[in-house]
Structure 1
Amino acid sequence: MNRAPGSVWRRPTHFFAFGLGSGAVPWAPGTFGTLAAIPFFWLMADLSLSWYWGVVFVAFVMGVWLCDKTSNDLGVHDHSGIVWDEFVGYWITMAAVPFSWEAALWGFAIFRVFDVFKPWPIRWADRRVAGGFGIMIDDVMAGLYAWSTMHLWFWLH
């Protein structure tokens, strides 16, 4: 069971690292964090691809710092409530995918599969890369796997 600290609601770094509070749910915080990323994808979907990737890159860099700071403050590496990495991983999954609720939900499902099961080398990175970068990189990799899967599916259909 996820036990979110009260600082999530008092400290902006923790609030963002906890996915605007979505990671504070008592169970399945990664799933809720990914769901919370969907409306932001909806808002970003009409950006040009270069602007979209720019926003994702800034969110990644910001996430490395947010996740590192929050993790250090809490004294727990990759607390289950830290879900900013799910936001970024989901946005990677959805890059260059035209918005529709069907695509948004398929992207959600595919990203969660790769994020939960962590095929190689995602699991390796998850276990061996430390700090905020370590918290972020496995979800970036899961997002790239899911992005490839989404685009392969679009290409085949």
Structure 2
Amino acid sequence: MIARMIGTVGGVGYLRPAPGTWGSAAALPLAWAVHVVAGFPALAILCLALFAAGWWATAQMTAGQSDHDPSEIVVDEVVGQWIALAPILYVGWSPGLDGLVMWPGWIAAFVLFRLFDIWKPWLVGWADRRGDALGVMLDDVIAGVFAAIGVILLAGLYHGVLAR
């Protein structure tokens, strides 16, 4: 029961179509709430804790099954999406900066994460092919890192090159 609540993020994973996209979308207000209430460090700690809990929940939910990554497991999407949002939330942690001003970054983080999670290039695909609970979590972590790098590059392009 607890593993299913964690793995499906309170049932979000049962939404159709595209439960992974629903999981990523659910990650946005969750990240915002944690960020507003407790700041970036709390979100980073929660991300690590959710990774560990998601790894455990995925192992529990897939034990004895041939499908190592059922679509209703979306905790991995939440962790990956939080990683994609990390550059924005870190900058938004600065005193006096309204995080809503950075709304284009939120959109970029969401789109880039979904792109890398679906496309599964290079290391993302490698992690997915592991065929175990750790691989389920790692492919989204890596997709989140790729998306975070993309967010940083896009911000640099917009605020640096295009701002001139």
| TM-score (structure 1 length as normaliser) | 0.84
**After superposition, what is the alpha-carbon deviation per residue over 1:41-66, rounded to whole angstroms, capped at 9, x for unaligned?**
11122444433221111111111101
The whole-number CA distance in structure 2 between the counterparts of 1:14 and 1:58 is 16
RMSD (Å), alpha carbons: 1.7
* Larger Rg, first or second structure (1 or 2): 2
Counterpart amino acid of residue 91 in structure 1: W
The whole-number CA distance in structure 2 between the counterparts of 1:37 and 1:50 is 17
Tell me by how many angstroms 1:74 deviates.
5.6
Counterpart amino acid of residue 19 in structure 2: P
Match of 2:87, SS? Answer: coil
Aligned length: 146
Q: Is the helix fraction higher in 1 or 2?
A: 2
Partner of 2:113: 111
Identical-residue share of aligned pairs (%): 34
**After superposition, what is the alpha-carbon deviation per residue over 1:113-144, rounded to whole angstroms, capped at 9, x for unaligned?**
010001102112211x2322111000000000
Partner of 2:95: none
Tell me by how many angstroms 1:94 deviates.
0.5
**After superposition, what is the alpha-carbon deviation per residue over 1:71-99, rounded to whole angstroms, capped at 9, x for unaligned?**
21665311011100000000000013133
2:46 to 24, 41, 55: 55
Structure-2 change in CA distance of 1:49 and 1:25 (3 Å): closer
Gaps in structure 1 of 5+ consecutive residues: 1-10
- Mapping for residues 133-144 of structure 1, pairs under 5 Å: 133-144=134-145
Counterpart amino acid of residue 120 in structure 1: W
1:121 to 114, 120, 123: 123
Gaps in structure 2 of 5+ consecutive residues: 93-98, 160-164
